[in-house]
Chains A and B, each alone.
Chain A
């Protein structure tokens, strides 16, 4: 167990190192000169040169990367070109909002996806099953910004059930969470359906039915807990898809999280912010995968650590 943990930790650390190298290389290759952006248009060549030296941008690639890495380890993600503040501060200030949205989205997608999957599996081969699977296909094919704008139009503009945008109360959370959830809910529905079908084929389910248990008891007490196991392990991996959705949805709903931060940074070509958020998201994904691997054997003893 300890050896496994150690090996997985080293692997995760190496992946993070690689990610930092790629983001830095992108920053380095950038055709737009950050010094020019900081110095402004009217700066003399001498000023530009001195700023360049000040920022250490005249050093060779590896030296610059080394310094970047050293700063990263201290939690320093660099400074925004335009907002003149620390990227790390901008991100930490907005992280709670994004985390709240992620929790809301995970709750929604599990509720919708698992319910759809279970019903489809139980009614396998019927029209209900077919229409649920078509619905799941529509879910995974729907662009999130369109879903968001349509939900906004119907439920906020026309029906006024929810606020048009913003942040603060529970009702602000509903539409953005639903929007992020639609795509993953489609995947969960399909996975839950096939997982449930596999479990319903098992002998112990037949035994449970044979000893006279009610259909619903067999379903809830015996089938569901086992069918859900592989799905739980997926949540860690799902974080990557969630992060992408969050950028779009936060910009549609004006949700003050790191997705909106990225969106604003895109408009102003503020690369350090984009890179910072990418790094933080990649970190979240690596962490999610790591936790999923660690937790998996506890919730499902059949999984052996390798």
Chain B
């Protein structure tokens, strides 16, 4: 069924991401560093079985000294071994999978909830809008980490539960931003015009409001991965995130921290990995904000 062509030309979003975004991103040195780190981590996670000859849970006979201490970095075990004689490099590679899965899944759910709540509240307003936004304010008053700790303590932690817990904590900021943007968009003339010609709410939301929000969604989605990676690492470090033996950069440090004075590499290398990945997404997100959001242009 072909509908008559509606005058959509005028409502084409002004800042829809064009193919040039990636190239613009690569022209900024800091964003380029971020991209390189992300590519390296993704490659490490995907190619883990080929990059190392050890298994992530494999306890090596020669992985500990005679007195049972972990080995410092050497030719066989590139980043040293942990308290159980497992290869740290291997565990960090497999830990990247955990971080990326949680980064993508948790952040994806958070983005979905946040966008839904923010857009619905911003478009419909009325009682539904105020209820949703009051609830968002309420969630903002919770300290994120403590709320995550409460949730993780209530539900038994597993990889997917941790992702869900992080999503339930992290959607709030996205909802706030989406609300502000949607409510200002909903006041614009072209939306009024759409209503006058009889467009349904669903059509206005999906065809006219959502496309304008895409740059914001991309920016917040990227920055959100960084927050998510840090929150996962912190929960796992506190022992209520991803549970051993599944390696996660946070729980590697959790497992080995009692020994860190004698074996600092067990904290240092996974710590660098967390920092690098979180930093990478922050750098990319910040550059994307400059590129995609014209109101922010020239501010930095």
Q: Do A153 and B260 have beta carbons less than 8 Å apart?
A: yes
- Chain A residues closer than 8 Å to B145, beta-carbon distance: 243-245, 247-248
A269 contact from B153, B270, B300, Cβ within 8 A: B153
Q: Do B138 and A19 have beta carbons less than 8 Å apart?
A: yes
In the bound assembly, the distance between CA atoms of A278 and B153 in angstroms comes to 13
In the bound assembly, the distance between CA atoms of A248 and B233 in angstroms comes to 11
In the bound assembly, the distance between CA atoms of A194 and B250 in angstroms comes to 33
Q: Do B146 and A244 have beta carbons less than 8 Å apart?
A: yes
A278 contact from B140, B143, B274, Cβ within 8 A: B143
Q: Do B138 and A247 have beta carbons less than 8 Å apart?
A: no
In the bound assembly, the distance between CA atoms of A144 and B17 in angstroms comes to 34
- Chain A residues closer than 8 Å to B283, beta-carbon distance: 137
In the bound assembly, the distance between CA atoms of A247 and B270 in angstroms comes to 20
A103 within 8 A of B: no
Q: Mark B228-265, 1 if CB is under 8 A from A, else 0.
A: 00100110011110000000001001000100110010
- Chain A residues closer than 8 Å to B239, beta-carbon distance: 266-267
B146 contact from A16, A267, A281, Cβ within 8 A: A281
Q: Do B138 and A22 have beta carbons less than 8 Å apart?
A: yes
B260 contact from A29, A140, A149, Cβ within 8 A: A149
- Chain B residues closer than 8 Å to A266, beta-carbon distance: 149, 153, 238-240
Q: Mark A278-302, 1 if CB is under 8 A from B, else 0.
A: 1001100110010000000000000
Q: Do B141 and A285 have beta carbons less than 8 Å apart?
A: yes
Given contacts A149-B260, A150-B267, A275-B150, contact A244 B143 (CB under 8 A): yes
Q: Do A247 and B278 have beta carbons less than 8 Å apart?
A: no
B286 within 8 A of A: yes
> Considering only CB atoms and an 8 Å cut-off, how many residues of chain A contact the other chain?
50
Given contacts A140-B282, A285-B141, contact A145 B253 (CB under 8 A): yes
The residue of chain A having its C-beta at the shortest distance from the C-beta of B156 within the complex is: A31
B291 within 8 A of A: no
A15 within 8 A of B: yes
**DSSP majority for the B interface?**
helix
B10 within 8 A of A: no
In the bound assembly, the distance between CA atoms of A278 and B147 in angstroms comes to 7
- Chain B residues closer than 8 Å to A150, beta-carbon distance: 267-268, 271
- Shortest CB-to-CB span from A139 to chain B, Å, is 10
- Chain A residues closer than 8 Å to B155, beta-carbon distance: 31
A146 contact from B143, B144, B153, B271, Cβ within 8 A: B271
- Chain A residues closer than 8 Å to B261, beta-carbon distance: 153, 157
The residue of chain A having its C-beta at the shortest distance from the C-beta of B231 within the complex is: A244
The residue of chain B having its C-beta at the shortest distance from the C-beta of A190 within the complex is: B300
- Chain A residues closer than 8 Å to B270, beta-carbon distance: 146
In the bound assembly, the distance between CA atoms of A30 and B62 in angstroms comes to 44
- Chain A residues closer than 8 Å to B53, beta-carbon distance: none
In the bound assembly, the distance between CA atoms of A197 and B30 in angstroms comes to 21
- Chain B residues closer than 8 Å to A134, beta-carbon distance: 30
A23 within 8 A of B: yes
The residue of chain B having its C-beta at the shortest distance from the C-beta of A247 within the complex is: B145
Q: Do A146 and B30 have beta carbons less than 8 Å apart?
A: no
Q: Mark A26-55, 1 if CB is under 8 A from B, else 0.
A: 100111000000000000000000000000
- Shortest CB-to-CB span from A79 to chain B, Å, is 17
B137 contact from A15, A26, A31, Cβ within 8 A: A15
Q: Do A142 and B141 have beta carbons less than 8 Å apart?
A: no
B162 within 8 A of A: no
Q: Do A138 and B271 have beta carbons less than 8 Å apart?
A: no
B98 within 8 A of A: no
In the bound assembly, the distance between CA atoms of A22 and B150 in angstroms comes to 11
Q: Do B146 and A271 have beta carbons less than 8 Å apart?
A: no
B1 within 8 A of A: no
B154 within 8 A of A: yes
In the bound assembly, the distance between CA atoms of A61 and B18 in angstroms comes to 53
A71 within 8 A of B: no
A271 contact from B143, B154, B260, B286, Cβ within 8 A: B154
- Chain B residues closer than 8 Å to A248, beta-carbon distance: 145, 234, 237-238
What are the 8 tightest A-B residue pairs by CB atom distance, in nearest-first order? A244-B145, A146-B271, A141-B279, A141-B278, A243-B143, A18-B138, A278-B146, A281-B143
16 contacts between A and B (CB under 8 A): A15-B137, A19-B141, A26-B151, A30-B154, A141-B230, A143-B234, A143-B250, A145-B234, A146-B270, A149-B257, A194-B299, A240-B143, A244-B234, A266-B240, A267-B239, A289-B141
